[in-house]
A = this chain, B = another copy of it.
């Protein structure tokens, strides 16, 4: 079919080269590898059906997903995607898997949680023993932590692992209903193994939560072992190809050597020893996962923005006085739905990249024995993970609604993106819980600054406390400088205010610190959110400034930075005004300038989303098609409904007709 003329015109009239941006986003080499991984999934007949996952009933869906997993296992070998230790392979595998399944899949936690836990928590000998079996899929594993009544509060887990010296075994046990393991991905039907977190008990003494390698099913028959009750937890908001599961263990024995002993050991006679490392070290793999989730949120949003923007270029609605219907992309209100989404996707993408490089830097220092930046890293990753999950979900839903009625059809592809992305607000640290941690850190950092300590790089600005001096002149570079100084000052003010309030509560209400912090949780969260938001602005601007873009493309990206920075200030303008980081006059200027910038972004809207370079397979959307033939696609999608198998649905003969006859007979 020929390309829709409206969308063709958008591409012809754009004044930037989308490829340039693509290379900036993923790196030139990265962009090619990514494309290759996507194409490998796309051309593979074995993976055809995942495009229709949302239409299948749960049992078929799962069956099909497992079939695909087993094909995937071959392909990973074939394409050299299965070296779990190499970061490039890790990324390539991620691209490939995302294109194969278009979302979570039964073995997702095997690759993303089980294997990393062995690597991160096992001794070299344990790794040598367990890893090959996990890599050749003899062990199919999950990460088993959450229980029915405890997720966020890990110390509260109730499953026990009691050491029995006489047999040199741990006895794993679920003491009551609320201790049932609940949620682990793949636990329901797919896995035969788990890394399981439990309270370690030795001769009556509790040593806290430790990780255990725990076999769940017979390796030959896949039957649950005696003492193991395991099952799927049923239907969820999204991601139903994955069998999140529950697990009840009844005095279930595993060998002593199945405690993963990198950081803590139990000897045969029951002697407990523990390495003296900062707790953050043991959580580094979770920290890494959080950096990945920032990029994942960026990707989800990029897809939704691509779909909604392309559709808005094709959709025409409402005739003007001359009888001409405009592309909805031309309406200011529509632009104000889409352009913040596009810019946020870019901002989060650059933030994810900056975070990963900060992670690598800090990891290197840790390798050299320097632990000083671990709490900075924790603060950055927790804040950015929570913020990017929240804000991407918000914009994805705005994108969905911006497609009007068709956005509600699964054919739009956006419901699925939302349902899968929004879980990032909850897993790997629930947003509020993370913000509270970040807020408390900021207060601590501020106190350090006040007592003259040098702060780590990302927090150094807390030592500055002068109001923004830069005058607001609306030229891109200086607007950006102004905005950044506004963000900084606002955070300093917020941190200072909450610190002050906490001190006051401590002195006047005679409460302890814990209670004082609780009394000011709302402010702590606000401060943390402001900090994370500021980070995304900064990382976006730095990323663009540091890129090797050509002038036109660079200018366009700087306009996006400008728009993004202003938009974030305007949408939260209350706190900026209240904190005198800004005055009302400046706010008005920024507001107007934001509207002006819409006109700057408009001509490149389609090019900007094309640059994300998501092939049609990954968008899986009738509305987001590259060729813009949306109505043809919707019609085809409709015809495919299972209800259309018969012209007259069997329920007519079974129910409707008899009902009509019964009523007629009565009349």
Interface set of A (CB-CB < 8 Å, partner B): 54-59, 62-63, 66-67, 69-70, 73-74, 136-138, 140, 146, 148-153, 155-156, 177-178, 180, 182-183, 188-190, 221-224, 231-238, 243, 246, 315-321, 325, 331-334, 336-337, 397, 400-401, 404-405, 407-411, 415, 422-423, 425-427, 430-432, 436, 512, 514, 518-519, 521-522, 525, 570-578, 580, 584, 587-588, 595, 631-632, 634-635, 637-645, 647-652, 654-660, 662-664, 667
Contacts and interface: CB of A to CB of B under 8 A. Distances in A.
A585 to B, nearest CB: 9
A519 B595 CA distance: 9
A525 B333 contact: yes
A319 B155 contact: yes
A156 B648 contact: no
Contacts of A152: 317-318, 404
A595 B221 CA distance: 58
B574 A631 contact: no
21 contacts: A62-B643, A136-B667, A137-B660, A153-B319, A182-B634, A222-B648, A222-B657, A231-B643, A232-B644, A234-B409, A234-B640, A235-B410, A321-B512, A332-B522, A337-B432, A401-B422, A408-B426, A573-B575, A574-B576, A577-B578, A578-B587
B651 A63 contact: yes
Contact of A156 (B325, B408, B570, B577): B325
Shortest 3 CB-CB distances between A and B: which pairs?
A573-B574, A57-B57, A70-B659
A140 B638 contact: no
Given A66-B654, A138-B664, A336-B522, 20 more contacts: A57-B57, A58-B643, A70-B655, A70-B659, A146-B405, A151-B405, A153-B318, A153-B325, A177-B635, A182-B634, A222-B656, A231-B641, A234-B409, A237-B410, A333-B522, A407-B426, A573-B573, A574-B574, A574-B577, A577-B578
Contacts of A578: 573, 577, 584, 587-588
A405 B425 contact: no
Contacts of A243: 643
Given A66-B655, A149-B631, A318-B152, A234 B411 contact: yes
A221 B430 CA distance: 55
Contact of A649 (B66, B411, B664): B66
Contact of A316 (B149, B576, B643, B645): B149
A148 B404 CA distance: 11
Given A62-B651, A635-B148, A651-B62, A410 B236 contact: yes
Contacts of A73: 659, 663
Nearest to A57: B57
A432 to B, nearest CB: 5
Contacts of A656: 66, 69-70, 137, 140, 190, 222
A660 B134 CA distance: 11
Contacts of A57: 56-58, 642
A519 B221 contact: no
